[in-house]
Amino acid sequence: MKGFRLEPDRLRTCVTELIGLAEETGELVASASRLAERLPALGTAPPAVHLAEQLRDAAGRSGLTGEVLAAEVELQSFHEALSATLTAYDDGESDIRWTLRDSAS
């Protein structure tokens, strides 16, 4: 078999699953942000304060929060591309059905 075969129902299932993943990733972003806002209570000694600041920075925008946020953006981008592809396919199928009906008349 040459070419490829597209299964719209399977793609719709993937789109639905991507929506769920995006929601869960959004929850991770919120959780990582809350973590980054807290300064761990490791004590007041200079090494403990320094370590607490490093931990908070690691959870912040340049650390965990940033990584999860970047994953969320990529996931959203993939979701939009897959949805657009599915819509274009469905529109093309509809056009073909109309063309076949018109030529059969």
Q: How many CB atoms lie within 10 A of CB 65?
A: 22
pLDDT cut 70: percent of the chain above it: 94
Residue 2 resides in a domain: no
Phi first, then psi, for residue 12 (nearest 5°) are -60, -40
Q: How many domains does the chain have?
A: 1
12: pLDDT strictly greater than 80: yes
Domain that includes residue 32, residue range = 8-104
Asked if residue 82 belongs to a domain, the reply is yes
Answer yes or no: is 88 within a domain: yes
Dihedral sign for Cα atoms in the order 69, 30, 55, 44: positive
According to the model, what pLDDT value does residue 1 have? 58
Domain of 26: which CATH number?
1.10.287
Please check whether residue 58 lies inside any domain of the structure.
Answer: yes
Q: Is the pTM of this model over 0.85?
A: no
C-alpha–C-alpha distance, residues 68 and 65, integer Å: 5
Residue 3 lies in a domain: no
Question: Is a pLDDT exceeding 70 seen at residue 105?
Answer: no
